[in-house]
Amino acid sequence: MKGNERINAGAVIQAYLNAGITELPTSMQINNYVSNKKRTLEISGDFNFVDMENMVREIKETESEVVEFKYRIDEENPSKTDWEIIITCKQMLDDQRNQKHGNIDSTFKLIFGGFPVMVWGYSDINRHIHPTGVAIISSETIETYKWLFEFLKSNRFCNGEWIPAEFVADNAQCITTALREVFPEVHRRNCIAHIIRHIFDVKFGEYGIDKQTDGERIKNEILELANHAFENHFDIAGAALIAKWKASDHEGIVQFADYFDREYIQKNKFWYAANGQGIRQNNGMEGSNKWIKRDFINRRLPLMEAIAALKKWLYVCAHKNYGNPAISVKTNEWIAAHDLKSVTKVIFSGGTWYVRRSKSEWDETDYRDYLEYYTDLDNVLDAGDVELFQKNIVVVTRSTLYENEFTCNCPIGALRTRCKHVLLIQVFCNHREWPNMPALRQTINGTARTRPGRPRKHTQALSRI
């Protein structure tokens, strides 16, 4: 190793191992270790102490920092040694462990040697992503993911075990396996945005499916399938969709059906708007990765410099202002919910609120009869039943992740955005009160009439159409 341009992480690990140090517990210990090594050992050509000292200095600069170092030496083939440097701080670690869920996404091209960087965090009730740590790893394996999950579960900086209810990631099998081993009960969410993108960018081309015609239709069918609230409904509708694709004259669509069935129905199906579950996509976490690349690491850096840049990024994240944590309801949302109240019927059954959709053509008797039929476990539902259900009924349930919050499977609620159905149920459950509705409606009308700079000509042109 020459100069300070680049450091061989394997050599660092080997040096730690040789010294019998298995983690980076405190800056003082590392400092002592380095001075001791300098006194007692010859510095060989494959290890650069300047790099080590830089690392020590940086660790000392931020006292609250938490760094954990894990590795497993492959004795047969040392170059295949797995290692991981976890960087976070106590405040972020506590913040993450106070949540019931996590998001994780890996990014590449930040560091020489191609070492991936894992970024994790959580989504707050207003869907802001809070990054809470990063890990630099030798490569993406079950082992490296397990180390991270084990660290989040229990570590020497925090009391007790953290058991999340939910984790969101892309479709990677190593994440699924690692999660299952460390958190056997966790609901492993599969990011729907990744699925759609992968299908559009890769699979449609591979199977010769035209993106604009068949591809667009298939995408919409997948998005519709994603709006199911119940697992059994999803299974029935999913099987019907696969059968429909398989009956196509287009050989590519038939093959695509097999692929989709295997990957997203049999293997990792939890990308739909399941009752009570949190966000369905990992876009916020990916956005964080893009943010690192734009503002902190815009070209590949040597390992030590990358660590320094990632620490700066984490510092900014830890001090970021995420705005008012309370949820504000917009006037038009109140009005939509209040309008819904007069046309719909809410039925509470088995911990779930069923709401007849505003567009449903059923009368109250139809609605009650159908609902009785659907909720009777003795009835075997078919794809037609499930389709009818989706068209006429929305399902509101308590969120498993956030206190006093609800989920809904209407197209807006399924995106985990607050919808009029949820608002209505919150009023039903006394979590909210109707504001003064006549006054609220008056403000809307008043503003529309008197708003300065209203585009009159434009309005007139529109009214002529």
Residues found near Zn ion in the complex (CB under 5 A): 408, 410, 413, 419, 421
Closer residue to Zn ion, CB minimum distance, 86 or 226: 226
Closer residue to Zn ion, CB minimum distance, 15 or 337: 337
**The residue type at 59:** I
Q: How far is the CB of 33 from Zn ion (least distance, A)?
A: 58
Closer residue to Zn ion, CB minimum distance, 308 or 337: 337
Q: How far is the CB of 265 from Zn ion (least distance, A)?
A: 25
Q: How far is the CB of 395 from Zn ion (least distance, A)?
A: 9
226 close to 199: Cβ distance less than 8 angstroms: no
Closer residue to Zn ion, CB minimum distance, 202 or 343: 343
Cβ partners under 8 Å of residue 367, min gap 6: 345, 347, 356, 360, 392, 393
Residue 287, helix vs strand vs coil? helix
CA distance 418 to 424: 11
Closer residue to Zn ion, CB minimum distance, 7 or 408: 408
Q: How far is the CB of 410 from Zn ion (least distance, A)?
A: 3
Closer residue to Zn ion, CB minimum distance, 301 or 396: 396
256 close to 245: Cβ distance less than 8 angstroms: yes
What residues form DSSP beta bridges with 84?
70, 137
C-alpha R_g of the chain: 27
Q: How far is the CB of 358 from Zn ion (least distance, A)?
A: 10
Residue 196's nearest CA partner among 285, 91, 283, 319 is 283
**404 vs 80, 112, 322, 429, CA distance in Å?**
48, 46, 20, 9
Letter string b/e over residues 163-183, b meaning 16 or more CB atoms within 10 A of that residue's CB: ebbbbbbbbbebbbebbeebb
Q: How far is the CB of 426 from Zn ion (least distance, A)?
A: 12
What residues form DSSP beta bridges with 167?
102, 188
Q: How far is the CB of 65 from Zn ion (least distance, A)?
A: 43
Closer residue to Zn ion, CB minimum distance, 132 or 227: 227
